[in-house]
Structure 1
Amino acid sequence: MQYRKDRKGNDISLLGFGCMRFEGSGTGEYFQKANDQVMEAIRQGINYFDTAYVYKNNEKVLGRILVENNCRDQIYIATKLPQYMVRSVAQAEKIFNQELELLQTDHIDYYLMHMLNDLASWNRLKAMGLEDWIKEKMDSGKIRNIGFSYHGNTENFKPVVDVFDWDFCQIQYNYLDENIQAGKKGLLYAAEKGLPVIIMEPLRGGRLVGMLPETAKKRIAKSDVNESAASLALRWLYDQPQVTCVLSGMNSMEMVNENCKTASLALPGCLTDDERQLIEDVKNDIKNSVKVGCTGCNYCCPCPKGVDIPAVFQCYNQLSEDSHARWRYIQMTTFRKETTNAAKCVGCGACTKKCPQHLDIPQLLKEAKKELETPMFKIINWGTHFFHFY
């Protein structure tokens, strides 16, 4: 296993274990399966385990595994405060204590403000006194490193980085999302600020593996590059020295073994010219199979009404092959102070004039809204802002 340093000099495994995809109820055979995978991952050198308060059963299962195997001190736990649900310091304190209890630990090594997508969200937390609460937890040692996870756009990422003395951050990043969300620009900016960057969705929820278009699958199989689709995507990330740790939601022993093998050999500069070309060809295969030919260049932004146009189209394009696309849409457009969903479009056409692809963006947003903004979206959107922000 390769390791990269965090801000305080700790060695973080290049591959992290994303616990969100633990299967089933977390009991019986499901617990045993998770236990075996986690322990094998630790044996192979993984020391960074990522979970969250809102991931069903995750904290409880991970805590039980670590206690029953007496290995808490061998790993770092990362978990998250659902800041979009928090209305007071007392509520944050209650959730944090619940997390400690579920994880059966007295401290969290890496604690994140979950989906802190814009400056307004941080200002809301600060106004309620959460900044002082964080400092108190850091001083007491109950939180060892403080950071945030991010699903917003590039423009909003830099102010969030700058607003507080963070120890690390977590972004969605992969070869298809190079210019989406925080993107390459965000990765480089965080690294310039000395922030370790944890990568989530390196395989885009399976989009870059099993859900590739057939043309891409055949291209990889026939190529002279001796790498699987998963290994290729991970190596693209490991090639970049600004990446500290890449989270993989592994739920089989085969995934654990393959991903650990890849991470044990990968160094900055590991990607060959043939691999780079293959990735570019696969990206083109993916783009040719999507509904909207949006490249994520962000020339259409900012929208006068606040629509996050690239994020809307990203989720719309994922619908046919990614069962999590509608949930991603909620994450990216709703869990923030000001929503950025497609319904906010008024058809002014300002975006169309700036689009290098000459897309009819207002019409495409209407089509995306019809598919993405289901009754469930509307319920969650209403509930989030009625109960949590106002």
Structure 2
Amino acid sequence: MNFGGDAGPRSLIRNQIEVSETRMRNGIAVLVPVFALVGVCAAFSDEGQNTAFRRIVAVLVLVSTLPAAYLVSRIRFGIIWWNRDMGHHSVPRASTYFVLYADLGVTVVLATFANHELALYGTALFAVISVYVAHFVRWAETVVHMVFTSCVIAVFAVLTWRQGYHDIAGILARAATSVIAVNATLVLLRSFSAGMLTSYRTQFANANRDPLTGLLNRRGFELWMQIAEEREPGRSGVLLLDIDNFKAVNDGSGHDGGDTVLRLLSRRLERVVGVDAAVARTGGDEFAIAVRGDIAGLTRLAEAIRGEVAVRSDDVPITVSIGVAQLASGAHGKLTGQEQIKEALSRADKAMYEAKSDGRNRVVADVSAQ
């Protein structure tokens, strides 16, 4: 992330996120083999695996926890949590596969117990998986987990009843305890997690949006550019534009009139550039656009914007001066993505002021990166 172009806060926040995520990954990775301890204890119990086949099955599942723990340590939980239930196809599916593995693994090991009552007690382990599900799995998959675990608990309750050691009321109490522990934990934690996620998303959106126009602010614009470059490295460009003689607009129409002009310009910019570009208000009457394309395509877009903005029938006719620059493709080995973006913005800014110096209402393209 880039907050206001300041690398200090950006580095601090990013480091805090990475430290928290690393602790979480390592904690869950350690917890996975701990589940295997239940099977190990059962293997040495008369109530556990009482045949060679059952012991082999249990051992295979227990051994599988080691590679599973390693794979879990590679999952990017922050990305999964942030994009949960948003329908993003880019959200990693590793989290879903892990829950599937955990549910089936626990079920298989419990099924090897000779004493079904012990297995019924063991279903409480699903509650630990539910804690994970509450934060890192989509809602549809959460429902599948709840239905599956409830069915497993019901099956072991029936098997316990068939052993004939306990009355039906006692068995129902044991099964209900597991069901409540597994599902109530999940529902409560998911509700809390969803509330926190909504709050963070709202705060993040507000922190990166200009309240007057609804466009990105400078912080959000640079963040958008950095994410776009990280996802699809390539030749991106930036357009910086400034309203010509905006002080005269404010003096003649008042600040309310100036605000109306800014909002009108924002809508026109969004209409011209389309959904594949980012439009931001980076200052009082200064706007920025990030879009993919070569310098010729960027210049054509800038000319289209200049023509779209200058509408003679407007109550307050305006024109804009635009500077165009492309991210330097040869600088990838020397500059970080953030530095490339700042460098391109600096060149676009110089080009924009050159356009103003040349008489305003014109486009100047910086070709030094070609």
Higher relative contact order (CA 8 A, sep 6+): 1
Higher strand share: 1
Q: Which has the larger radius of gyration?
A: 2
Task: Answer yes or no: same fold by TM over 0.5.
Answer: no
**TM-score bracket relative to the smaller structure:** under 0.3
Normalising by the residue count of structure 1, what TM-score does the alignment of the two structures yield?
0.20
Higher helix share: 2
